């Protein structure tokens, strides 16, 4: 039995079923081998096709086939052993540069299954006076990622409810409680000047923690996400993003929001350019000036269209941001339109209102499938030699982002 699961890379697999992701190792490896085996050419013998299939280089997570050897002094035993594939350890992501062709992320989950998870989460959260919500959140994230596939393999989520609970306690102890004490103290101070200064300091402190929470949440969630056994990571410094966030917010206010597209592009560049898959970084080369004209038009048409034109700007921003995001030589491309985005948002709102919130699983599944429907990866994609480089991250930022409402577009 292999030392690592061929799907999620979990260590110490001492039986046929992985304790981490639940996959049956032998069945999973056999399915990948069959999927990656080239078709038998017309007129070729089955034996010849089998030899060619075993000689072909298998992509990541597939069983590594040994090249056939002629029987020598050891006779047919060596040939038999040579033809038996072994499961490869998924530390590097082997394979050659994939050809330049469009690739798509696919989502296979159903809202009905997620609804079952949602109902159990609600009932257990009530029964445990709210404590189960951390484990419930993990179940939802694990479902979404395990149902998301790329190039024939699914993503995996490795976070735990215990990590989220400990992160929540840390956020409350070191952030929420000090801010609460300052707020109470400000109300008890009779001197108006000191009272106003204390309130202003408290507000600034809360505002400063918003970018810290955003970076912390993104760092934690990427570090707990993997594909083909290789984890993602985020390596940006929190205080660098604090300076960017505070400066951008002030400039947006002073320019009556005209700096907004520049601010958004700078945030996107920071988040994407500091994100890694294994040891290889993503890149973003977009600029706010390319969105400035569309943003001015949006401001002019916002009131005449009762705000609906904002969907068209959001669609343009989404297309632009994806088209300027790269991994190695491959680039992303989105074809979403303003009308499609408007229909999604209005449909989601109607679902939530008329189901009194119970339609949330359908909203999440619709939104996830929508995002992948209009997104492709284009260009040559080199996955050869990608290796894992562990990056430690705690769940404190994830909990803080939830407390401050500074989420980063993840379940």
Residue 2, token pair as written in the block: 């292999």
**Cα–Cα dist 345/367, whole Å:** 9
Neighbours of 381 (CB within 10 A): 20
Residue 190, token pair as written in the block: 């009779």
Neighbours of 5 (CB within 10 A): 27
**Cα–Cα dist 328/167, whole Å:** 34
Once rounded to an integer, what is the mean pLDDT over residues 122-132? Answer: 97
Q: Is the pLDDT of residue 103 over 90?
A: yes
The residue with greater pLDDT, 77 or 347, is 347
> Is the separation of the CB atoms in 284 and 278 below 8 Å?
no
> Is the separation of the CB atoms in 54 and 36 below 8 Å?
no
pLDDT in tens, 36-64: 554 444 444 444 444 344 344 444 444 43
**Cα–Cα dist 158/145, whole Å:** 10
**Cα–Cα dist 212/239, whole Å:** 7
User: pLDDT value at position 386?
Assistant: 83
> Is the separation of the CB atoms in 214 and 401 below 8 Å?
yes
**Model-level pTM?**
0.74
> Is the separation of the CB atoms in 143 and 113 below 8 Å?
yes
**Cα–Cα dist 363/268, whole Å:** 25
pLDDT in tens, 215-268: 999 999 999 999 999 999 999 999 999 999 999 999 999 999 999 999 999 999
Please state the φ and ψ torsions of residue 347, each to the nearest 5 degrees. -60, -40
Among 85-89, 368-372, 386-390, the range with the most confident prediction by mean pLDDT is 368-372
Residue 248, token pair as written in the block: 């951008």
Residues 6 or more apart whose Cβ sits within 8 Å of residue 234: 215, 218, 219, 222, 223, 271, 274, 275, 276, 391, 393
Q: Is the pLDDT of residue 100 over 80?
A: no
Work out the angle at residue 323's Cα, subtended by the Cα atoms of residues 337 and 259, and round it to the nearest 5 degrees.
Answer: 80
Residue 408 Cα to chain centre, angstroms: 10
């Amino acid at each position: 039995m292999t030392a690592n699961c061929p799907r999620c890379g979990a260590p110490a697999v001492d039986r046929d079923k992985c304790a981490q992701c639940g996959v049956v190792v032998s069945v999973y490896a056999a399915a990948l081998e069959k999927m990656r085996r080239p078709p038998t050419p017309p007129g070729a013998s089955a034996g010849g096709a089998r030899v060619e299939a075993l000689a072909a280089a298998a992509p990541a997570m597939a069983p590594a086939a040994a090249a056939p050897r002629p029987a020598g002094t050891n006779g047919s035993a060596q040939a038999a052993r040579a033809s038996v594939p072994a499961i490869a350890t998924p530390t590097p992501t082997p394979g050659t540069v994939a050809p330049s062709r469009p690739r798509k992320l696919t989502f296979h989950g159903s809202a009905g299954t997620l609804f079952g998870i949602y109902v159990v989460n609600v009932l257990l959260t009530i029964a445990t006076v709210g404590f189960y919500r951390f484990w419930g959140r993990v179940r939802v994230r694990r479902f979404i990622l395990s149902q998301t596939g790329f190039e024939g393999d699914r993503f995996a989520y490795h976070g735990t409810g215990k990590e989220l609970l400990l992160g929540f306690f840390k956020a409350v102890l070191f952030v929420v409680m000090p801010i609460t004490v300052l707020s109470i103290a400000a109300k008890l101070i009779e001197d108006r000047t000191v009272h106003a200064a204390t309130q202003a300091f408290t507000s600034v402190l809360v505002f400063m923690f918003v970018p810290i929470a955003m970076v912390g949440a993104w760092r934690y969630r990427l570090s707990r996400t993997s594909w083909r056994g290789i984890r993602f990571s985020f390596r940006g410094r929190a205080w660098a993003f604090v300076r960017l966030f505070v400066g951008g917010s002030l400039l947006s206010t002073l320019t009556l929001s005209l700096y907004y597209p520049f601010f958004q592009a700078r945030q996107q560049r920071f988040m994407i350019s500091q994100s890694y898959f294994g040891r290889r970084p993503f890149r973003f080369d977009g600029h706010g000036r390319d969105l400035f004209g569309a943003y001015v038009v949006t401001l002019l048409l916002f009131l005449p269209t009762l705000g609906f034109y904002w969907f068209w700007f959001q669609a343009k921003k989404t297309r632009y941001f994806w088209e300027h995001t790269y991994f190695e030589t491959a680039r992303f491309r989105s074809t979403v339109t303003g009308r499609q985005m408007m229909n999604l948002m209005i449909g989601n709102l109607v679902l939530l209102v008329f189901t009194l919130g119970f339609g949330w699983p359908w909203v999440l599944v619709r939104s996830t499938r929508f995002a992948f429907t209009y997104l492709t990866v284009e260009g040559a994609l080199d996955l050869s030699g990608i290796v894992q480089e562990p990056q430690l991250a705690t769940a404190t930022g994830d909990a803080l982002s939830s407390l401050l409402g500074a989420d980063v577009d993840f379940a």
